C-alpha cells in the first residue's frame, strides 16, 4: 500500500509586495508503506515546506497529497490521526519536566500511565538518555536533549507515519547515532518514515529510497545505492554528494554558503 502520494504539488510565498518565492514546484512522488523515504537537500531547498504540507500545516497552491488514501485537504483530521511530526522547532512546556511533558502527550494519545512510563523509559534508554534528567525542567536541557524528548514524544504510540524534519540537526555525533538507531527501530516496529535531511551519510545509511531537492524542485529520485552506482564509471569514488553535483552543478557546501550570505 502507498503511505503517501504526492502529485504535482507546488507552493509559493509572497516576499514583500511583488516578489513571489518558489518553495516547492510541481513535485510528484510516492512512499510505500513500511519504508524509510528521504528528502535530501540543502537549507532552503523546500524540504520543510513539503513536509508541512503533508502534515496538513500548509495548504498546497496546486496538486494533491494523500496519506494512506486520505486527502490532506478534504480529510485533514483523519490524516492527523495517522501521523506524528518532529521538527527542529519542537515546542514544550519549558517549566515542566521531560516526564511531565511526555506524560501530557501520552494522555492526549490515550495511553495509560503505566504503559506510558514503560514506553518513555524504553525510548529514552534507546537514545542513551539519563533517566534522572527526565525529572528536570525542559528549559534546563541542551538543544540536543530537547530534540531527544521531541523524538520520544513522536514515537510514544508507534504511529503509522513519522514525519521527521531534520531530526538530528545540531546533535553531537553520539546523539545523532542514537537517534538514527531509534528511527531504524521505529521502522522495524512498523512505522513508515519520511525523513528530511541535509546529511548525506544519514540519507545513505537510513533511507530505502530518497529524492533530492534543489531550489524547490525534484532533481532526481531512487535508491541511494542505485543513484551512486549509476555514476561509478564516470566517478569511481562517487557518493550522494557526487549525485547532487551531477544534477545541480553545485555542491552542498557552496549552496549552504550562498544561503548564509
* CATH code, domain carrying 220: 3.40.50.300
**pLDDT attached to residue 260:** 47
Contact criterion met (CB below 8 Å) for 231 and 225: no
- Look at the block and give the residue holding cell 518558489: 22
DSSP strands (E only) in the chain: 2-15, 19-32, 36-40, 62-67, 70-71, 83-86, 161-165, 192-197, 209-214, 217-222
- Listed residues 114, 142, 158: the one ending a domain: 158
Specify whether the backbone of 11 is left (phi greater than 0), alpha (psi in -120 to 50) or beta: beta
For 260, the grid coordinates are 548564509
Tell me the CA distances in angstroms from 19 to 12, 70, 91, one per residue in order: 10, 34, 31
* Residues 59 and 10 occupy one common structural domain: yes
Q: Any residues with CB less than 8 A from the CB of 134 and at least 6 apart, and which?
A: 97, 98, 99, 102, 120, 124
* Residues 66 and 92 occupy one common structural domain: no
* Residues 68 and 180 occupy one common structural domain: yes
Query: DSSP label at 249?
Result: S
CA quadruple 205, 68, 162, 165: dihedral positive or negative? positive
- Look at the block and give the residue holding cell 540536543: 144
Contact criterion met (CB below 8 Å) for 209 and 33: no
Q: For the whole model, what pTM was predicted?
A: 0.88
Query: DSSP label at 97?
Result: B
* Residues 125 and 73 occupy one common structural domain: no
Contact criterion met (CB below 8 Å) for 116 and 197: no
For 155, the grid coordinates are 514515537
How many angstroms separate the CA atoms of 103 and 133, rounded?
Answer: 15
* Residues 185 and 256 occupy one common structural domain: yes
* Residues 95 and 53 occupy one common structural domain: no
* Residues 123 and 248 occupy one common structural domain: no
User: Helices 173-188 and 113-126 meet at what angle, rounded to 10?
Assistant: 130
β-bridge pairing 217-222 and 161-165:
unpaired
- Listed residues 130, 158, 186: the one ending a domain: 158
- Listed residues 158, 187, 213: the one ending a domain: 158
* Residues 55 and 182 occupy one common structural domain: yes
**pLDDT attached to residue 194:** 97
Domain that holds residue 138: 85-158
**pLDDT attached to residue 90:** 63
**pLDDT attached to residue 256:** 62
137 three-class SS: strand
* Residues 179 and 244 occupy one common structural domain: yes
* Residues 144 and 31 occupy one common structural domain: no
Q: Any residues with CB less than 8 A from the CB of 151 and at least 6 apart, and which?
A: 86, 123, 127, 164, 167, 179, 182
Q: What is the mean pLDDT of each run of 10 residues along the chain (261 residues)?
A: 96 80 94 97 90 96 97 95 78 86 85 88 84 89 83 84 89 86 90 94 96 94 96 91 89 63 45
* Residues 163 and 153 occupy one common structural domain: no
> Dihedral, CA atoms, 175, 176, 181, 186, nearest 10 degrees?
100
Total count of domains within the chain: 2
* Residues 245 and 118 occupy one common structural domain: no
**pLDDT attached to residue 126:** 82
How many angstroms separate the CA atoms of 106 and 77, rounded?
Answer: 19
Amino acid at each position: 500500500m502507498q503511505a503517501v502520494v504526492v502529485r504535482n504539488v507546488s507552493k509559493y510565498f509572497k516576499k514583500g509586495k511583488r516578489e513571489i518565492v518558489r518553495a516547492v514546484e510541481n513535485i510528484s512522488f510516492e512512499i510505500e508503506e513500511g519504508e524509510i523515504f528521504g528528502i535530501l537537500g540543502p537549507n532552503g531547498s523546500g524540504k520543510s515546506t513539503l513536509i508541512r504540507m503533508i502534515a496538513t500545516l500548509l495548504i498546497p497552491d496546486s496538486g494533491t497529497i494523500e496519506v494512506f488514501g486520505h486527502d490532506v485537504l478534504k480529510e485533514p483530521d483523519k490524516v492527523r490521526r495517522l501521523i506524528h511530526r518532529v521538527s527542529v522547532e519542537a515546542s514544550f512546556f519549558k517549566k515542566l519536566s521531560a516526564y511531565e511533558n511526555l506524560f501530557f502527550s501520552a494522555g492526549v494519545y490515550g495511553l495509560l500511565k503505566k504503559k506510558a512510563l514503560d514506553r518513555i523509559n524504553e525510548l529514552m534508554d534507546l537514545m542513551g538518555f539519563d533517566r534522572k534528567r527526565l525529572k528536570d525542567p525542559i528549559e534546563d536541557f541542551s538543544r540536543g536533549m530537547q530534540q531527544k524528548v521531541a523524538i520520544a514524544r513522536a514515537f510514544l504510540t508507534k504511529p503509522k507515519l513519522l514525519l521527521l524534519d531534520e531530526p538530528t540537526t545540531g546533535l553531537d555525533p553520539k546523539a545523532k547515532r542514537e537517534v538514527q538507531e531509534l528511527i531504524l527501530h521505529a521502522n522495524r516496529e512498523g512505522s513508515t518514515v519520511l525523513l528530511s535531511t541535509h546529511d548525506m551519510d544519514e540519507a545513505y545509511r537510513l533511507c530505502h529510497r530518497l529524492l533530492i531537492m534543489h531550489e524547490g524542485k525534484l532533481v532526481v529520485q531512487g535508491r541511494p545505492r542505485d543513484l551512486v552506482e549509476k555514476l561509478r564509471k564516470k566517478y569511481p569514488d562517487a557518493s550522494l554528494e557526487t549525485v547532487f553535483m551531477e544534477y545541480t552543478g553545485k555542491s552542498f557546501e557552496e549552496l549552504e554558503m550562498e544561503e548564509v550570505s
